[in-house]
Amino acid sequence: MLRSSISSLLFLGLTTLSSGLALAPRQGDGDIAIAPGFINHDAVVPFQQQASDGVEGEIETHFKPWLNDGAGCFPYAAVDRSGFHGAGLRPTGKIGGDCRDPSKGQIYVRVGTSNGRTGVLYSWYIPKIQNGEKHRHYYLSIVVWLHTDICKAKATDYKVVGISYSTGKESWDKFSSPNTLYTASDANFGPVNTHAIVGYWGKMNVEPSRDSAHHALSPPMIAWSKLSKPAKDQFNNIAYEHARCPFNDNNFQATLDAAFNGDLYNNLPLEPTLQCVPIDPKDPISDDPIPDDPPKKEEPKKEEPKPEEPTPVDPEDPTEPEGPVPVTSDPADGLFEDGPEIPEEALPADGLFEDGPEIPEEALPADPTFTPTP
């Protein structure tokens, strides 16, 4: 009897992973979370907005997108600070049934590189999907591809060259970027519209929101680096039956590589590294001027005697020189020249953008304007 009871517990899934993290009971559709397990999808408390430290966090905020969710579920927080994962919803009834509470949302962000190019992955979790596939748990994602040719670049030095839109668990639309609309937000980074408006209509894919932003959402953004350890452990170890977390440690690089489109970077140079050649002759770290090579000393030049009558020299006068005085060149001010200004044509500036249609004011932040399309 005792042996039978122990076996039953093991089959219920109350075992332990090799990492020491306990498994929570299996859901009916085959999703397995680690301890502390599942709670109701609407009981997960979102993290407050927190970006990464430094320039990376400024980039995350500067390009944070809006989700124009016209049908299906609104985004929800997937995991709370304690590591509880939302149980999701059975894929029945209305496609937006019991999952359109705008106060429960979260957007996850992580910055990385693929093929030497900077990409910012933004993801939304939704508790069920009924169009195309029918199951609990799903992730919608975009990758915002950026470029700069400036050393020690700030967030405002980066330009959007394109956006990749997820169309499935591991598939991407890399060619709809020219249709993307952008708007401003309350990030206080200046007047440039850098926040894409992403459309979602209850299906498996996201796409450019071409017509309106009547259902635009901007839930709190949490950077991967700012998640609590229990939350990271849950994202890294949950076993979804159908879904795939695009930003966890196991999948993040593969996600960027799958979303990458080299055509977006045609004729654009690689980004500078920390050891990049400075644009002007100043050290990019210390800002102290340094020459490329040490100054070369010129050999002393002897002064040629003038074709005039020589002046008599008194041999007893110690102030009179015995010969010509050597002259050396002084490299003082001529060693350094100001570096060239960054040519405007080298940046993906105004010429790559066209004005898009006006966005309804009631759905967007203050001061909406015509949005540029990269």
Query: Which of 7-11, 82-86, 304-308, 314-318 is most confident?
Result: 82-86
3-state secondary structure of 123: strand
Tell me which of 123 and 366 has the higher pLDDT. 123
Taken in order 235, 240, 244, 250, the sign of the CA dihedral is positive
- In this prediction, residues 228-253 reach a mean pLDDT of 98
Q: How confident is the model at residue 341 (pLDDT cuts 50, 70, 90)?
A: very low
Distance, CA of 63 to CA of 194 (rounded, Å):
5
Helices (H) and strands (E) in the chain, counts: 4, 15
Question: Per mean pLDDT, which range of 71-75, 139-143, 207-211, 225-229 is the poorest?
Answer: 207-211
- Please name the residue ranges forming H helices in 71-196: none
How many C-alpha atoms does 175 have within 13 Å on its Cβ side?
Answer: 0
> What one-character-per-residue DSSP string does 75-102 give?
PB-SB-TT--EE----S-SSTTTT---G
Taken in order 346, 348, 352, 357, the sign of the CA dihedral is negative
Q: How confident is the model at residue 221 (pLDDT cuts 50, 70, 90)?
A: very high
The model's pLDDT over 8-39, given as tens digits with 9 standing for 90+, comes to: 434 444 444 445 576 655 554 599 999 999 99
- In this prediction, residues 52-57 reach a mean pLDDT of 98
> What one-character-per-residue DSSP string does 271-325 give?
PP-TTPPPSSSB-TTT--B--SSPPPPPPPBPPPPPSSPPPP--TT-TTS-SSPP
Question: Per mean pLDDT, which range of 137-151, 160-174, 210-224, 298-312 is the poorest?
Answer: 298-312
Q: What is each CA distance from 104 to 18, 49, 80, 230, 366, in whole angstroms?
A: 33, 13, 11, 19, 23
- What integer pLDDT is reported at residue 117 of this predicted model? 97
Q: How confident is the model at residue 131 (pLDDT cuts 50, 70, 90)?
A: confident
Taken in order 207, 212, 217, 223, the sign of the CA dihedral is positive
Query: Is the pLDDT reported for residue 161 higher than 90?
Result: yes
Query: Is the pLDDT reported for residue 135 higher than 80?
Result: yes
The model's pLDDT over 249-304, given as tens digits with 9 standing for 90+, comes to: 999 999 999 999 999 999 999 988 755 654 443 444 434 444 444 455 555 555 55
321: which 2 tokens? 């020189």
Q: Are strands 221-223 and 107-114 parallel, antiparallel or unpaired?
A: parallel
- In this prediction, residues 196-221 reach a mean pLDDT of 91
- In this prediction, residues 140-148 reach a mean pLDDT of 98
Q: How confident is the model at residue 132 (pLDDT cuts 50, 70, 90)?
A: confident
Backbone angles phi, psi at 262, to 5 degrees: -65, -25
Q: How confident is the model at residue 209 (pLDDT cuts 50, 70, 90)?
A: very high
pTM of the model: 0.71
- Angular region, 68: left φ>0, alpha ψ -120 to 50, beta rest: beta
3-state secondary structure of 195: strand
pLDDT averaged over every residue in the chain: 77
Nearest to 105 by CA among 76, 129, 81: 76
Neighbours of 322 (CB within 10 A): 6
- In this prediction, residues 321-335 reach a mean pLDDT of 36
The model's pLDDT over 95-108, given as tens digits with 9 standing for 90+, comes to: 999 999 999 999 99
